[in-house]
Amino acid sequence: MTKPSVLFVCVHNAGRSQMAAGWLRHLAGDSVEVRSAGSEPADRINPVAVAAMREVGIDLTEQIPVRLSWDDARASDVIVTMGCGDACPVFPGKRYEDWKLTDPAGQPIEVVRRVRDEIRVRVAALLAELTGS
């Protein structure tokens, strides 16, 4: 069986999609290929999101926001969007999920922690579906 691949997409690739990718890498190890991207990537990851993830032992400091590419989307089995609307590409035959999550940009750490924890629950459920565990 080939390794499933997941692409997390948000507008700036600086908060939600980076946290989701961090959680999936943490929970799945190398059993799932993980990508994240943004329709309009920021210059850097949201430092409050980095701090919130550091609290749970996940280091996002080396991650860099990247622009969403058609190749990444085409190569992914599951595409999870988080607020990028029409900027997210649609490929026939791909599984799509749209996660309605608060944008952590400009939010205090308390709000970002809630977003982080909600993302963890969703990522764990997705992982269980993908791996059958």
Contact assessment for residue 33 and residue 62, using Cβ atoms and an 8 Å cutoff? no
- The pLDDT tens digits for 8-57 are 999 899 999 999 999 999 999 999 999 999 989 999 999 999 999 999 99
Q: pTM above the 0.85 mark? A: yes
Q: What percent of the chain has pLDDT over 70?
A: 94
Quote the number of domains for the chain.
1
Residue 93's pLDDT is 77
What residues make up the domain containing 44?
5-131
| CATH code of the domain in which 77 resides | 3.40.50.2300
Whether residue 1 is predicted with pLDDT greater than 60 in this model: the reply is no
H or E, element range at 21: helix 16-28
Alpha helices (H) in 1-133, listed in sequence order? 16-28, 47-54, 70-74, 109-131
Lowest mean pLDDT across 42-56, 88-102, 104-118: 88-102
Catalytically active residues, by annotation:
10, 84, 88
